């Protein structure tokens, strides 16, 4: 340690080697994990990252790569041993190029997601990755977790938005794959190894991201309906009427709306009365004018005639659309203290899953209160569970493992995944072994052993 600090300071400068006041780098967003870093170092370039990694590899020091530290599964938090170095890339925050002809943007890993959205908009382009933490999360972390968000329905996960990467490997070598190519059939697609790997195979330092033409018209609607089954019928109906213009389709139970309104009274449902389920849906079009709104109104009228919806409120302008999205975007914060699950099942089986999981939990914990919401259009639910009346919040959180076992067994029975977009991190890296085949686990471990034989890169996460 006595030699490490001066060596790190020589690479990045004294001001960027942090040896105390670790809290911003040692706690996860949910305050579920509290680590103890050996030291926090904040490089400003790929060369500095490579030098730090080489130093740590030679000394056998474990590295925890970290960007915005908004992980929901403890993936960017060190353990409590005091032996792991946190390498935070937040100083690497430059947009290096926007290529409007190729529809790409080359960026450093520490760029805040919202900054990238705004930079794309300056060039009349759209970078469609959008999630609640976009004002603080950083693109390196988004890529490392294969983040999802509300527009996956149309544009796909982060994996579909990354065209090239630059990565510092556990040896300190730099692999540069910063190609903005849509076709490259020259062997293994190496970038895919690092997308979603949660920093266990290397440190992403730069990326080439895919851009799209900026939408010229948007139609946002808040719809009331009877059940998740009806929501699935509505999803199919709206796809038939709007096609690829359908961008987001967010399902929320009545309890979700109640929780947001209680925590944030300014964010209220635009609909009269209380409804069992609501959907926030949005469509966008590259063409300006009223054509999209007219198509949306026609689709909603047909849905009303078919008894698919009970009521609907269409945003008249961007300000009203923002108020509708406020309800959805404040939901994670409004229900922070419960047992959370980020799961996916085949879209066609979501309603069956909700019924089965609700029943299984009620059988084991009478009075349990599911807080169910998520991206219905891509099969991803945030199936969170609030305490029954007989439990305090603290006592309920102590049931996390038992509750998750019931939920995840149900997910597995429906052919789903126990992590749809948040990753495994510390939270699920052991549990996932129950649901993956021995062959799949062996392949993952083989890749880890090949790229990181000393196991210095984010150990204790994923595998």
Q: How many CB atoms lie within 10 A of CB 101?
A: 5
pLDDT in tens, 371-429: 999 999 899 999 999 999 999 999 999 999 999 999 999 999 999 999 988 889 888 98
Quote the pLDDT of residue 39. 97
Give me the percent of the chain exceeding a pLDDT of 90: 90
Quote the pLDDT of residue 47. 98
Question: Would you state the structure tokens that stand for residue 248, as one six-digit string?
Answer: 């987001």
pLDDT in tens, 215-242: 999 999 999 999 999 999 999 999 999 9
Is residue 8's pLDDT more than 90? yes
Quote the pLDDT of residue 33. 83
All structural domains of the chain with their residue ranges? 4-88, 95-213, 217-332, 337-434
Give me the percent of the chain exceeding a pLDDT of 70: 100
pLDDT in tens, 61-108: 999 999 999 988 889 999 999 999 999 999 999 999 999 999 999 999
pLDDT in tens, 107-135: 999 999 999 999 999 999 999 999 888 99
CA 386/CA 121 separation, integer angstroms: 39
The domain defined by 4-88 folds into: 3.30.43
Distances (CA, A) of 356 to 232, 348, 350, 362, 386: 17, 14, 10, 10, 17
Model confidence at 1, in pLDDT bands (50, 70, 90)? low
Quote the pLDDT of residue 29. 79
Nearest to residue 280, comparing CAs of 315, 324, 243, 227? Answer: 324
Q: Which of 30-34, 346-350, 370-374 is predicted with the least confidence, judged by mean pLDDT?
A: 30-34
Q: How many CB atoms lie within 10 A of CB 381?
A: 24
Q: In what order do the strands lie in the sheet with 17-18?
A: 17-18, 39-41, 84-88, 62-66
Question: Would you state the structure tokens that stand for residue 283, as one six-digit string?
Answer: 């469509």
CA 31/CA 403 separation, integer angstroms: 19
Quote the pLDDT of residue 133. 87
Listed in order, strand segments (DSSP E) in 243-326 are 246-253, 277-285, 311-314
Is residue 243's pLDDT more than 80? yes
Nearest to residue 315, comparing CAs of 240, 239, 248, 382? Answer: 248
Quote the pLDDT of residue 72. 84
Whole-prediction pTM value? 0.92
Alpha-carbon dihedral angle through residues 18, 23, 29, 31, given to the nearest 10 degrees? 150
Which is more confident, 30 or 11?
Answer: 11
Nearest to residue 346, comparing CAs of 412, 435, 427? Answer: 412
Q: Which CATH number fits domain 95-213: 3.30.465.10, 3.30.365.10, 2.40.110.10, 3.30.230.70?
A: 3.30.465.10
End-to-end CA distance of the chain: 28
Average pLDDT over residues 344-356: 96
Average pLDDT over residues 185-194: 95
Which is more confident, 393 or 33?
Answer: 393
pLDDT in tens, 270-313: 999 999 999 999 999 999 999 999 999 999 999 999 999 999 99
Distances (CA, A) of 427 to 419, 430, 460, 462: 10, 8, 10, 9
Quote the pLDDT of residue 342. 94
Say if 95-213 and 337-434 have the same CATH topology. Answer: no
Contact between residue 229 and residue 259 where contact means Cβ atoms under 8 Å apart: no
Contact between residue 33 and residue 74 where contact means Cβ atoms under 8 Å apart: yes
Model confidence at 30, in pLDDT bands (50, 70, 90)? confident
Is residue 457's pLDDT more than 70? yes
Model confidence at 155, in pLDDT bands (50, 70, 90)? very high
The domain defined by 337-434 folds into: Alpha-Beta Plaits (3.30.70)
Quote the pLDDT of residue 2. 65
Residues facing residue 246 across a β-bridge: 283
The domain defined by 217-332 folds into: Alpha-Beta Plaits (3.30.70)
Is residue 338's pLDDT more than 80? yes
Model confidence at 138, in pLDDT bands (50, 70, 90)? very high
Which is more confident, 28 or 96?
Answer: 96
Contact between residue 159 and residue 146 where contact means Cβ atoms under 8 Å apart: yes
């Amino acid at each position: 340690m006595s030699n490490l600090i001066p060596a790190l300071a020589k690479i990045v400068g004294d001001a960027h080697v942090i040896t105390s006041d670790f809290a911003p780098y040692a706690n996860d967003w949910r305050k579920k994990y509290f680590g103890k870093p050996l030291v926090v170092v904040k490089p400003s370039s790929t060369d500095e990252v490579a030098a730090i990694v080489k130093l740590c590899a030679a000394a056998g020091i474990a590295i925890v790569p970290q960007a915005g530290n908004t992980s929901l599964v403890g993936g960017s938090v060190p353990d409590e041993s005091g032996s792991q170095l946190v390498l935070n890339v937040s100083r690497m925050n430059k947009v290096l190029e926007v290529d409007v002809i190729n529809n790409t943007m080359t960026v450093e890993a520490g760029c805040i997601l919202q900054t990238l959205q705004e930079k794309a908009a300056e060039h009349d382009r759209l970078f469609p990755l959008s999630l609640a933490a976009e004002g603080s999360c950083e693109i390196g972390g988004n890529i490392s977790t294969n983040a999802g968000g509300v527009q996956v329905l149309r544009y796909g996960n982060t994996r579909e938005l990354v065209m090239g990467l630059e990565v510092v490997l556990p040896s300190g070598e730099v692999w540069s794959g910063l190609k903005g190519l849509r076709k490259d059939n020259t062997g293994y697609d190496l970038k895919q190894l690092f997308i979603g790997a949660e920093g266990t195979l290397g440190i992403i330092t730069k990326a080439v991201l895919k851009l799209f033409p900026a939408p010229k018209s948007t139609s946002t609607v808040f719809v009331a309906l009877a059940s998740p089954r009806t929501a699935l019928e509505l999803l199919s109906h709206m796809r038939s009427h709007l096609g690829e213009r359908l961008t987001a389709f967010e399902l929320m139970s009545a309890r979700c709306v109640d929780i947001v309104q209680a925590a944030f009274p300014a964010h209220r449902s635009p609909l009269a009365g209380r409804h069992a389920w609501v959907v926030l849906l949005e469509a966008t079009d590259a063409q300006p004018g009223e054509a999209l709104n007219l198509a949306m109104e026609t689709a909603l009228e047909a849905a009303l005639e078919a008894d698919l919806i009970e009521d609907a409120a269409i945003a008249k302008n961007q300000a009203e659309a923002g108020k509708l999205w406020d309800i959805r975007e404040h939901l994670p914060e409004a229900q922070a203290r419960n047992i959370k699950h980020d799961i996916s099942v085949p879209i066609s089986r979501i309603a069956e899953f909700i019924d089965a999981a609700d029943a299984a939990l009620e059988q084991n914990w009478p009075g349990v209160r599911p807080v169910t919401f998520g991206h219905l259009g891509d099969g991803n639910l945030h199936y969170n569970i609030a305490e029954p009346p007989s439990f305090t919040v603290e006592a309920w959180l102590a049931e996390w493992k038992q509750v998750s076992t019931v939920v995840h067994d149900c997910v597995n029975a429906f052919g789903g995944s126990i992590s749809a977009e948040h990753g495994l991190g510390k939270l699920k890296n052991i549990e996932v072994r129950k649901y993956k085949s021995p062959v799949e686990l062996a392949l993952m471990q083989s890749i880890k052993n090949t790229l990181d034989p000393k196991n210095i890169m984010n150990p204790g996460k994923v595998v």
